[in-house]
């Protein structure tokens, strides 16, 4: 694969986002491993989705879990996004960038009392309720705080999103949402109390969904409920379709957003219901990469595949180990035409065989090479850990010729501080 060092990000086989700063310069300045994001690519993804939903009354609530760096959240806030959160921590991040709590949707099956209280105090726009017990808890906490909690019920439509089982959420054996009948019960409970105000209805059937059919099927069953509720006098203010729009990592098809927008329009028919979506991956995945330096080349035993051992590991990017996810790997520099093209596993320094970033790739690489692991802008850094007491990577945002460190590399002191006795 030919590589222009100014192209800091690529979307396999699609348009390349070109920023002005060479990756080698970023590696020299900030060290490796290092996540690099393109502001231009993030904006382009946002505008593409906004344009596809344009004919509809709609609002994009960026799903914070996909990449929760404050620099990324600020960028989406500037673009006019609201936010989808699943914890008090994510709410605090939105507040830290000056986000308006009214633009926040609070999802998740396990909202604690402390999280509900914080959300009520700051006044989030909507709680997406996932069970009867949760509805009762939100009502009690709202009564205690003398507030009115805006709610939406998350419906689990029992639809197969045809994605990895770990990230499928809309099947009846998944822990998320409630069935249609329970949803109707929850709405009638909510209608009877002044502590809750009924705002909308929502669903999210999974992530990395490649085809529009399951998403539309989900909307269809939600619309049936909207109509049933309407006939019993409960008028909803919005329909939230969740996120899950699939992207291209290798040779799969990204979800056709324009087709999706047009089909939504058709399905909604004369209903003037405002739509909400909660995209995470589709906005950030292909706007980020992970830079990593080769440490060693190690031949395989006998005729087994050899290894390129790099300084990034499963603690930095766990998607290949956890979901068997495929990320393109590009050799940025540090090789010559004389270096042979080899079949290699790209592995990190962590002490388990599950620590790999890629398997069996054809690479022309040397021990001086810098590599880029592509499509790493979503569920990369936010899933990073300190396993093997490794500090988490730095994060850098590039905007034209402007390079900004949006999270410094974690030091050993950062890790020890929480465990040493006070004052040491």
> Where along the sequence are the contacts to ligand LLP (CB under 6 A)?
63, 65-66, 84, 107, 167, 169, 204, 207-208, 242-245, 278-282, 319, 323, 379
Strands 275-277 and 238-240: parallel
CB 282 within 8 A of CB 246: yes
Name residue, tokens 């960026």.
62
DSSP H or E segment with residue 395: strand 394-399
Strands 288-298 and 149-154: unpaired
What is each CA distance from 377 to 10, 229, 285, in whole angstroms? 11, 39, 4
Backbone angles phi, psi at 402, to 5 degrees: -95, 125
Calpha distance 157→202 (Å, rounded): 10
Least separation in angstroms between CB 173 and ligand LLP: 16
Least separation in angstroms between CB 262 and ligand LLP: 20
Calpha distance 180→122 (Å, rounded): 30
Backbone angles phi, psi at 388, to 5 degrees: 65, 25
Least separation in angstroms between CB 325 and ligand LLP: 7
Q: Based on CB atoms, which residue is closest to ligand LLP, 6 or 175?
A: 175
Query: Which one from 126, 351, 382, 405 is the annotated catalytic residue?
Result: 351
Calpha distance 255→262 (Å, rounded): 13
351 catalytic, yes or no? yes
Calpha distance 40→45 (Å, rounded): 9
Cα angle, residue 404 at apex, residues 403 and 410 outer, rounded to 5°: 130
Calpha distance 378→63 (Å, rounded): 10
Backbone angles phi, psi at 386, to 5 degrees: -100, 20
User: What secondary structure letter does DSSP report for 151?
Assistant: E
Least separation in angstroms between CB 198 and ligand LLP: 19
| Residue positions annotated with a catalytic role | 351
């Amino acid at each position: 694969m030919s590589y222009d060092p100014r192209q800091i990000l690529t979307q396999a086989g699609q348009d390349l986002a070109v920023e002005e700063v060479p990756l080698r310069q970023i590696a020299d300045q900030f060290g490796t491993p290092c996540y690099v994001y393109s502001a231009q690519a993030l904006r382009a993804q946002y505008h593409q989705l906004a344009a596809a939903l344009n004919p509809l009354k709609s609002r994009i609530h960026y799903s914070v879990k996909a990449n929760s760096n404050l620099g990324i959240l600020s960028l989406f806030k500037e673009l006019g996004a609201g936010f989808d959160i699943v914890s008090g921590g994510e709410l605090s991040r939105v507040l830290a960038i000056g986000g308006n709590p009214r633009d926040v949707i609070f999802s998740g099956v396990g909202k604690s009392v402390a999280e509900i209280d914080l959300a009520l105090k700051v006044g989030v726009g909507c709680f997406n309720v996932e069970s009867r017990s949760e509805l009762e808890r939100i009502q009690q906490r709202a009564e205690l705080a003398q507030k009115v909690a805006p709610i939406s019920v998350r419906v689990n439509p029992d639809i197969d999103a045809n994605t990895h089982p770990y990230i499928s959420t809309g099947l009846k054996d998944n822990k998320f949402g409630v069935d249609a009948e329970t949803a109707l019960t929850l709405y009638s409970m909510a209608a009877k109390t002044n502590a809750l105000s009924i705002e909308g209805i929502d669903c999210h059937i999974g992530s990395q969904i490649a085809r529009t059919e399951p998403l539309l099927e989900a909307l269809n069953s939600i619309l049936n409920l909207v109509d049933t509720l309407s006939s019993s006098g409960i008028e909803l203010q919005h329909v939230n379709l969740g996120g899950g729009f699939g992207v291209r990592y290798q040779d799969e098809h990204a979800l056709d957003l324009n087709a999706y927008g047009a089909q939504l329009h058709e399905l909604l028919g004369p209903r003037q219901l405002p739509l909400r979506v909660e995209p995470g991956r589709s906005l950030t995945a292909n706007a980020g990469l992970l830079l990593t330096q080769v440490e060693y080349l190690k031949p395989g035993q006998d005729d087994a595949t050899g290894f390129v051992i790099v300084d990034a590991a499963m603690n930095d990017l766990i998607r290949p180990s956890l979901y068997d996810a495929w990320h393109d790997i590009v050799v940025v520099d540090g090789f010559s035409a004389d270096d042979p093209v080899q079949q290699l596993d790209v592995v990190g320094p962590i002490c388990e065989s599950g620590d790999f970033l890629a398997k069996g790739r054809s690479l022309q690489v040397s021990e001086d090479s810098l590599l880029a692991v592509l499509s790493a802008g979503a569920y990369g850094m936010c899933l990073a850990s300190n396993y093997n007491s490794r500090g988490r990577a730095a994060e850098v945002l590039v905007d034209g010729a402007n390079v900004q460190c949006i999270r410094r590399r974690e030091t050993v002191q950062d890790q020890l501080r929480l465990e040493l006795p006070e004052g040491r």
